[in-house]
Amino acid sequence: MRIIKNIGILLGVLVFVVGAIFIYLNRGLPDEIKPANFNCLSLEEGTFKDFDTLPSNIYGIGLAYAGHINETASDFDPHGDPPVFIKVNNSITKNGNKVKIPSRKRMLDALEQLEPGISETVNQKFKSLPALLDYEVELGFVLLENIPKENLKDANYIPKIGFFIANDLSARSLAVLGEGQDNRYDYWGVSKSFLGFTPISEKVWIPTEFKANSIPCILIITEVNGELRQHQMTSDLIYTPLQMLQTIQRKYPNRQLQKGDIVLTGTPGGVVMSAPRWLVRVAGLIGMDRFEKLGNIISDEKKISEFLQDGDKVLVKGEELGSVEVNILD
């Protein structure tokens, strides 16, 4: 009887432990992710104009929609700043152009700028290094005037900005290699800065009247070879343009936000690079490093096939605000 009783206790403990692990791995985020409170602008109350010049600076905001936070199993702090990164301005391209998937050499050269010596490690560990090219439809905005730092300290400041549509293309393999690094978001910027990796719509829309916390509340979509991949209202954004500009200034205090700078406001859910939260937590528990994570991804042939491939046509669109389509080349 004592043996049976002990077995029962052990089974009870085992069930409790398994249940606790299950709850830990599958628990949601502690804070609810809520959209910002926007004033929605009508596209009828504004005018379109051509982009005048190449922007001096391209800033990107990450993790700005609940769907994308959840699909990437990312953390969220409602009181913290979103990720910010910089893209090079020669990544800009226009409608109908071709975008080449970066070669292994180009990717390793880019990584060496951030982390000298990493190419040797990558070459030792990976015979193949696919770019894992991914799409990101985004609402973008361009600064119509210089913004003094003092202005951003004013909660009532209304920035003068115009809006457009962009595709923030990303070589995800480089972003994965930044995981766990102190400058992780610099790897994001590098992964998004290859030639042609910022397709933008041909015109910028400028509202007749600039209002606080205002954006065009439109449906933005991505289609790959005619298949719908992303589908979200911009009013679901978590951060306002002012909050984004304040975040950029905090991240780069020595930079001056200038007329012509553009900001990509983040992408909704529906990208290829996604993972269930429980799997990400398992990887953390067993101490999986960035090279092992990348190795697991590129060993999954089915997953690799979902990323952009040679011959793909990628269209991003934001109702009447504009659209841009590019053709992918290997």
Tell me if 159 sits within 8 A of 273, measured CB to CB: no
pLDDT score recorded for residue 3: 66
| Topology of the domain comprising 36-329 | Fumarylacetoacetate hydrolase; domain 2 (3.90.850)
List pLDDT tens digits, range 118-128. 999 999 999 99
User: pTM score, two decimals?
Assistant: 0.92
pLDDT score recorded for residue 20: 47
Instruction: Return d(Cα 185, Cα 280) in angstroms, integer.
Output: 18
pLDDT score recorded for residue 52: 75
Tell me if 87 sits within 8 A of 197, measured CB to CB: yes
Instruction: Return d(Cα 60, Cα 83) in angstroms, integer.
Output: 8
- Here the tokens at position 212 are 């606080």
Q: Which portions of the chain are predicted below pLDDT 50? A: 16-21, 23-25
pLDDT score recorded for residue 24: 44
pLDDT score recorded for residue 257: 98
How many helices and strands, by DSSP H and E, does the chain display? 10, 18
Q: By three-state DSSP, how is residue 324 classified?
A: strand
- Contacts of 110 by beta carbon, 8 Å cutoff, 6+ apart: 102, 174, 190, 193, 194
Cα-Cα-Cα-Cα dihedral of 15, 20, 25, 29, to 10°? 150
- Here the tokens at position 87 are 């893209």
pLDDT score recorded for residue 22: 53
pLDDT score recorded for residue 12: 57
Q: Give backbone dihedrals phi and psi of 111, rounded to 5 degrees, phi first.
A: -65, -35
